[in-house]
């Protein structure tokens, strides 16, 4: 298939960006999206042109670094898929693809399609961990955890921190990401001792980083490649209010 690509090019965070048009010819439908970009970059290298910069390609949908919008959709239009798992068979011959980085002031562009997502790291550093001594690994049945709680915790733990929730939200809110990180800790016994401190620290770090507020429109859940549920946001809001009351 032959495609027309309109790719965002930006030399640095301080430079002005623009869309550059490229023709992708004889693209195999078995290629992944990032493999297709590799082929474009090989052609640019032969022309002594600057290749298109994008972040790592784990091809397993677990690193969360392929922060690319395709025709206005985070990770493209296929539900539950990251860009590195997206194959060219999802497109048709003659398609025009607009390729750009996730858009958020909290995620400044490093170059082209590469973003600085260290704001997420700062949120995790503020409290996204268990600091108490939990000892060695206990026997599997020592701690009786309801299956519903363990299932919800594991579902929340699937979050890869890619930022698709931020990119798809009109307010650039990071509440789905933060609530997932809070849920997978606070739903399990090891994380319950510090839940009040954790939720206050992480929500305040999120606000400090410049992310917007949630208005419960659900775009984040729709675009999340790991299908994290917005019910986690409701749980986080309840915990935050309870922790605020206790803090007074």
**At residue 140, does pLDDT exceed 70?**
no
Q: Give the per-residue pLDDT at 105.
A: 93
Rounded to whole angstroms, the Cα distance separating 114 from 73 reads: 17
Rounded to whole angstroms, the Cα distance separating 1 from 138 reads: 55
Domains of the chain: 3-111 (3.10.20.30), 118-247 (1.10.1060.10)
Per the prediction, the chain carries an average pLDDT of: 93
**At residue 4, does pLDDT exceed 80?**
yes
CB 234 within 8 A of CB 214: no
Rounded to whole angstroms, the Cα distance separating 195 from 186 reads: 6
**Sign of the Cα pseudo-torsion (90, 94, 95, 99, in order):** positive
- Determine if the pTM surpasses 0.75: yes
Residue-wise pLDDT tens digits, 194-215? 999 999 999 999 999 999 999 9
Percent of the chain at pLDDT exceeding 70? 98
Q: Six-digit token pair at 47?
A: 């022309």
Q: Give the per-residue pLDDT at 121.
A: 96
Q: Give the per-residue pLDDT at 165.
A: 97
CA Rg value for the chain: 20
Strand residue runs (E) in the chain: 3-9, 18-24, 68-70, 73-74, 96-101, 109-111, 114-115
Kindly report the three-state secondary structure assignment for every residue of 131-189: CCCCCCCCCCCCCCCCHHHHHHHHHHHCCCCCCHHHHHCCCCECHHHHHHHHHHHHCCH
10 Å Cβ neighbour count for 97?
A: 17
Residue-wise pLDDT tens digits, 35-92? 999 999 999 999 999 999 999 778 888 999 999 999 999 999 999 999 999 999 999 9
Place of tokens 């439908």: 29
């Amino acid at each position: 298939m032959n495609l027309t690509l309109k790719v965002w090019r930006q030399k640095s965070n301080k430079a002005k960006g623009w869309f550059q048009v490229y023709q992708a010819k004889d693209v195999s439908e078995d290629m992944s999206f990032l493999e297709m970009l590799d082929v474009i970059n090989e052609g640019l290298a032969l022309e002594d042109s600057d290749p298109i910069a994008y972040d790592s390609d784990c091809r397993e949908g677990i690193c969360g670094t392929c922060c690319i919008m395709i025709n206005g959709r985070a990770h493209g239009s296929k539900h539950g898929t990251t860009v590195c798992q997206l194959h060219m068979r999802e497109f048709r011959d003659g398609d025009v693809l607009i390729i750009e980085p996730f858009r958020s002031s909290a995620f400044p562009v490093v170059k082209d399609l590469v973003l600085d997502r260290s704001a997420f790291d700062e949120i995790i550093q503020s409290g996204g961990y268990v600091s108490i001594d939990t000892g060695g690994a206990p026997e599997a049945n020592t701690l009786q955890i309801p299956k519903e709680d363990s299932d919800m915790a594991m579902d929340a733990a699937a979050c890869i921190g890619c930022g698709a929730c931020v990119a798809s939200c009109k307010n650039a809110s990071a509440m789905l990401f933060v609530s997932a990180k809070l849920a997978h800790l606070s739903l399990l016994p090891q994380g319950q001792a510090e839940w009040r401190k954790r939720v206050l620290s992480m929500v305040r770090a999120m606000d400090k980083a410049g992310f917007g507020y949630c208005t419960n429109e659900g775009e984040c859940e729709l675009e999340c490649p790991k299908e994290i549920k917005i019910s986690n946001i409701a749980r986080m809001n309840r915990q935050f209010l309870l922790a605020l009351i206790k803090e007074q």
